[in-house]
């Protein structure tokens, strides 16, 4: 094939699709919750070595990076995909076993199939196609399989301290369209202290629920920032915790977690300064209570034994619709896939925010459907994966060229 690889991308699916699908099945069959990615990381490293990557290394945080050296004429590109996945929940609610990786009705089923072992398998094999066809990308191509994306993006943040690329492609679900940004995610905690007493005499204590009940209602009065492209910032109360195990005690402390999705330009500091006066008002109305609003921190431990505390902040990002990387990516994909490629905005947050925050222009392209992520029916269409393999192969061959 060689020189005609670009001209015959359709053959890539016929020739290499089946083994990529089989690799994806093995990835899904290997559970890898955040902090427990070791088995999948070994599988990924072995696969990259077998496919003929020039170099395969793991860092101390457990990220695995395969390198294909470029011709030295273009820019370096990072394909970025995460190895961890969210909890499958109750296996009985699944149509097929969550770690089965079974194929039914043209779809590959299981936890992580769409988010994002399918796209990850396609990225890894796209690099493998170049290696086996004896083709070099214009600049170095890094295929990075990272840890702990689902708990805030520790893997990518640490990876960027040692591996730099000029451009990046994040493989989160885009139905093989091109994504150019998303809102950020900021997790906050409203912590309210009252005074704990026997539940038979609540008037003798100070009720922290009374403060947080007011606070939840007043969230609806916030004037949330708006953006033409990204929509509005949103806030959702999520977890509610107290310092009590007993149901006949008025707790002394209650904590409410907030999931805030911020439009580009809205900083965590701005979010805090919007929320703090609201909480202060509610505290003032309940005599004897005290409260504070803070950014939540994740205490994380990697499968390699490293630990770190990180604020739960996924930065937003947005490349302009006419940014050269967006235009170039769209052109390459439309030509490779022989169809129009839409430019979309992701609803959810990704490691793309960390890449952009580190100064690496990033686009998204992922063979999976966003509405299936984190569901008990998670699956990925096999045909979409094979088309994704063609898309990544084309991006690997051309994205680093010029510009």
Residues belonging to the active site: 84, 150
φ and ψ of 370, to 5 deg: -60, -35
Residue 116 in the binding site for Zn ion (CB under 5 A): yes
Cα 128 from Cα 80, distance rounded (Å): 15
Cα 271 from Cα 27, distance rounded (Å): 38
Q: Residue 172 or residue 369: which is nearer to Zn ion going by CB?
A: 172
Residue 40 CB, shortest distance to Zn ion, in Å, is 14
The DSSP-derived string for 110-133 is STTIIIIIHHHHHHHHHHHHHHHT
Cα 107 from Cα 21, distance rounded (Å): 11
| Only segment of 51-59, 89-97, 114-122, 176-184 that touches Zn ion (CB under 5 A) | 114-122
Chain residues 254-293 in contact with Zn ion, contact rule CB under 5 A: none
The residues near 89 (Cβ < 8 Å, ≥ 6 apart) are 376
Residue 348 CB, shortest distance to Zn ion, in Å, is 8
Which of left, alpha, beta for 270 (phi over 0: left; psi -120 to 50: alpha)? alpha
Pairing of strands 249-250, 141-146: unpaired
Residue 119 CB, shortest distance to Zn ion, in Å, is 9
Cα 101 from Cα 30, distance rounded (Å): 9
Residue 81 CB, shortest distance to Zn ion, in Å, is 8
Q: Residue 112 or residue 291: which is nearer to Zn ion going by CB?
A: 112
Q: Residue 115 or residue 387: which is nearer to Zn ion going by CB?
A: 115
Q: Residue 116 or residue 258: which is nearer to Zn ion going by CB?
A: 116
Q: State the number of binding residues for Zn ion (CB under 5 A).
A: 3
Residue 84 in the binding site for Zn ion (CB under 5 A): no
Residue 316 CB, shortest distance to Zn ion, in Å, is 16
Q: Residue 197 or residue 348: which is nearer to Zn ion going by CB?
A: 348
Query: For the chain, how big is the Rg over CA atoms in Å?
Result: 23
Cα 242 from Cα 354, distance rounded (Å): 32
Q: Residue 115 or residue 378: which is nearer to Zn ion going by CB?
A: 115
Residue 115 in the binding site for Zn ion (CB under 5 A): yes
Residue 234 CB, shortest distance to Zn ion, in Å, is 19
End-to-end CA distance of the chain: 27
Is residue 1 helix, strand or coil? coil
Nearest CA-CA partner of 152 in 115, 181, 187? 187
In this structure, are residues 127 and 68 in contact, taking their beta carbons and an 8 Å threshold?
Answer: yes
Nearest CA-CA partner of 171 in 127, 128, 118, 129? 118
Pairing of strands 231-232, 64-68: unpaired
| Only segment of 112-120, 213-221, 229-237, 292-300 that touches Zn ion (CB under 5 A) | 112-120
Residue 378 in the binding site for Zn ion (CB under 5 A): no
Q: Residue 70 or residue 364: which is nearer to Zn ion going by CB?
A: 364
Chain residues 149-178 in contact with Zn ion, contact rule CB under 5 A: 172
Q: Residue 47 or residue 115: which is nearer to Zn ion going by CB?
A: 115
Residue 187 in the binding site for Zn ion (CB under 5 A): no
Number of H helices, E strands in the chain: 9, 23
| Only segment of 109-117, 125-133, 246-254, 269-277 that touches Zn ion (CB under 5 A) | 109-117
| Only segment of 113-121, 153-161, 292-300, 362-370 that touches Zn ion (CB under 5 A) | 113-121
**290 - beta bridge partners?**
193
The residues near 249 (Cβ < 8 Å, ≥ 6 apart) are 196, 197, 198, 199
Query: Nearest-CB residue to Zn ion?
Result: 115
Which of left, alpha, beta for 296 (phi over 0: left; psi -120 to 50: alpha)? beta
Residue 141 CB, shortest distance to Zn ion, in Å, is 21
Q: Write out the residues near Zn ion by the rule CB under 5 A.
A: 115-116, 172
């Amino acid at each position: 094939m060689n020189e005609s690889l670009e001209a015959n991308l359709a053959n890539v699916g016929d020739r290499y699709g089946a083994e990529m699908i089989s690799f994806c099945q093995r990835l899904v069959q290997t559970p890898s919750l955040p902090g427990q990615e070791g088995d999948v990381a070994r599988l990924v490293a072995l696969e990259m070595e077998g496919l003929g990557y020039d170099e395969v290394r793991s860092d101390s945080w457990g990220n695995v990076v395969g390198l294909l050296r470029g011709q030295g004429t273009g820019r370096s590109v990072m394909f970025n995909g995460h190895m961890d996945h969210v909890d499958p929940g109750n296996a009985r609610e699944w149509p097929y076993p969550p770690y089965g990786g079974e194929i039914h009705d043209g779809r590959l089923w299981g936890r992580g199939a769409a988010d994002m072992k399918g796209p990850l398998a396609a990225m890894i094999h796209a690099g493998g196609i170049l290696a086996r066809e004896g083709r070099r990308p214009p600049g170095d191509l890094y295929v990075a399989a990272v840890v702990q994306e689902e708990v805030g993006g520790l893997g990518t943040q640490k990876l960027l301290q040692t591996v730099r690329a000029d451009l990046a492609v994040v493989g989160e679900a885009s139905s093989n369209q091109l994504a150019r940004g998303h809102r950020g995610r900021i997790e906050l905690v409203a912590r309210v202290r009252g005074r704990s007493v026997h539940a038979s005499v609540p008037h003798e204590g100070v009720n922290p629920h009374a403060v947080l009940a007011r606070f939840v209602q007043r969230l609806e009065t916030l004037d949330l920032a708006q953006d033409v492209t990204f929509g509005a910032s949103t806030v959702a109360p999520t977890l509610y915790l107290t310092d009590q195990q007993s149901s006949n005690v008025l707790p002394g402390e209650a904590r409410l977690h907030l999931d805030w999705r911020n439009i580009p330009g809205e900083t965590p500091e701005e979010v805090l300064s919007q929320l703090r006066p609201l909480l202060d008002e509610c505290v003032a109305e309940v005599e004897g209570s005290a409260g504070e609003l803070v950014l939540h921190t994740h205490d994380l431990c990697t499968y390699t034994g490293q630990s770190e505390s990180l604020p739960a902040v996924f930065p937003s990002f947005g490349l302009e619709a006419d940014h050269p990387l967006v235009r170039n990516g769209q052109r390459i994909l439309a030509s490779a896939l022989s169809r129009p490629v839409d430019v979309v905005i992701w609803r959810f947050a990704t490691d793309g925010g960390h890449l952009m925050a580190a100064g690496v222009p990033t686009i998204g392209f992922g063979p999976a459907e966003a509405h299936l992520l984190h569901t008990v029916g998670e699956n990925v269409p096999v045909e979409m994966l094979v088309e994704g393999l063609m898309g990544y192969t084309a991006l690997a061959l051309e994205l680093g060229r010029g510009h």
